[in-house]
Structure 1
Amino acid sequence: MKATAPIALGAAAALSLVTAGAAQAAHDGNPSPRVASYSYSLDPVQAESVPNSQATGSTRVKALPNGKVQVKVTASGLMPNAPHAMHLHGVDGPSTDMGCPGPAQDADGDGYVTVVEGIPSYGGILTSLTTTGDISAASALALDRFAVADEDGTLEYTRTFSQDAALANADTVQVVVHGIDINGNGAYDFEAGPSSLTDAAPLEATIPVLCGGIAN
């Protein structure tokens, strides 16, 4: 079963949860009188033992002088010809630096770091990095509106948008990319089980593959 249709579920609410215990930090000063630009590498979330999980990438988040935010994501080694959900994660409120999860966050020892297991590290969703339309947490799993990796597993994404939460927290967000073809059959299916968010979505479609941000 290939999961490419939007999944309108309580999953968005789960993803928008913010957990306690994040380190408080002052926001960085604007490096330019005109544009605040923050660039990070995107690193694998999963252990090397997870098949097809060792992608690489980079991201840049810009707070523009017109009050808009521009996000660019470049990644390679992703599942080819498939949409990849991407989000800005963090805390909308007091300046809070979150971080990226790694294999140590596999709390249940099943070999995978799921979306839910990653939330204590990267926080809730501030922005869904869709290609068109809504960018709120309600679009967290709208796979028909996320960027699609090409036949080589390369993804290029740029979008400029207006959103208060993204603008206010541009210097502390984590950028998270999801989707791994664990069984290598070229489709998001349920062989590895359901998502940690909802039984209606496969684990493969929601599992975090890359993460990067200020705390890493």
Structure 2
Amino acid sequence: MRTRTISAAAVAAAIASVGIAGTATAAHDKNPSAQVATYAYELAPVQADTVANSQGSGSTRITALPNGKVQVKVQASGLAPGLPHAMHLHGVTDSADMGCPGPGADDGDGIVSVVDGLPFYGGILASLTTSGDTSEASALALDRFPVADAAGRISYTRTFDDATAWANADTAQVVVHGIDLNGDGTYDFGAGPSSLTSAAPLEATIPALCGGIAN
């Protein structure tokens, strides 16, 4: 398996080039106390069921703790087994967003790319790495994201400091990336490059699952 760490500058440039527009609303579960704000969502496929190996499922819980830390839990299945899956908290901090994209967000090529999804779920609030930095700078540090087991499952929990993620925990989306479109057990360039950078394959960055609330 080969993975690459891609410059966050490419991610930032892609985000900056896409406008944010639209509104949507949804409900979230009740908080267990006035001091702990927690939000639970289902994770649903972003891609149409005609996209090979794309129909996973899962759930996520985002908790804003009273000490200013954020805890994120992700349970997912149906992912590319044995491969790392970049995961992020996405959101829009200065206007309303549209939540999670669906298959109709593709630009006509039948695949919803990262850039196609940005107008819906916004930029990166936090990178859900397994260790080290959780900022946007680690957006594509694939060596520090969860790796799906042999059955394509991920079970992730991490508590970290991030003021922006904490402040926007109630309107964030969790996005899980990575689909082995040709099922060969690796992220390759068979489907072309990522919409963010020609240095990475589309398979490594394509959004697979999304869940959350639009503000």
Same fold flag (TM > 0.5): yes
Is 1:164 aligned to residue 163 of structure 2?
yes
Partner of 2:104: 104
Structure 1 residue 168, shift from structure 2 partner = 0.4
1:124 corresponds to: 123
1:62 aligns with 2:63: yes
From the superposition, tell whether residues 97 and 172 of structure 1 become closer, same or farther in structure 2 (CA, over 3 Å). farther
Could you tell me the TM-score, scaled by structure 1's length? 0.91
Task: Give SS of 2:195's match.
Answer: coil
Conserved 8 A contact 1:15-1:116: yes
| Residues 65 and 9 (structure 1), Cα distance of their counterparts in 2 relative to 1, 3 Å cut | closer
AA partner of residue 92 (structure 2): V
Aligned residues: 212
Q: CA RMSD in A?
A: 2.2
Q: Following TM superposition, by how much is the alpha carbon of 1:4 offset from its aligned partner in structure 2, in angstroms?
A: 1.7
1:18-97 pair list within 5 angstroms? 19-23=19-23, 31=31, 32-93=33-94, 96-97=96-97
2:8, 2:138 within 8 Å by CA — same for their partners in 1?
Answer: no
Identity %: 65
Partner of 2:10: 11
Q: Is the 8 A contact 2:29 2:40 kept in 1?
A: no
Matches within 5 A, 1:157-196: 157-196=156-195
> Following TM superposition, by how much is the alpha carbon of 1:93 offset from its aligned partner in structure 2, in angstroms?
3.8
Instruction: After superposition, give the CA deviation of every residue in 1:169-203 in whole Å (9 maximum; x if it has no partner).
Output: 00000100000000000000000000000000000
Cα shift at 1:97: 4.5
Residue pair 1:73, 1:156 contacting (<8 A) in 2 also: yes
Whole-Å Cα distance in 2 between the matches of residues 29 and 143 of structure 1? 31
Cα–Cα, structure 1 residues 15 and 73, in superposed 2: closer, same or farther, change >3 Å? Answer: farther
How far apart are 1:58 and its partner, in Å?
0.3
Q: Secondary structure at the match of 2:40?
A: strand
Residue 61 of structure 1 and its aligned partner are, at CA, apart by 0.0
Shift of 1:28: 8.3
Per-residue deviation at 1:7?
1.5
How far apart, in 2, do the equivalents of 1:133 and 1:34 lie? 27
The one-character-per-residue Cα deviations of 1:105-124 (angstroms, maximum 9, x if unpaired) are 111x2111000000011001
Runs in 1 of length 4+ with deviation above 4 angstroms? 27-30
Q: C-alpha displacement at 1:15, in angstroms?
A: 5.1
SS at structure 1 position matched to 2:187: coil
Partner of 1:139: 138
Aligned-partner Cα distance in 2 for 1:72–1:29 = 15
Distance across 2 between alignment mates of 1:3 and 1:14 = 25
Unaligned runs of 5+ in 1: none
Shift of 1:210: 0.1
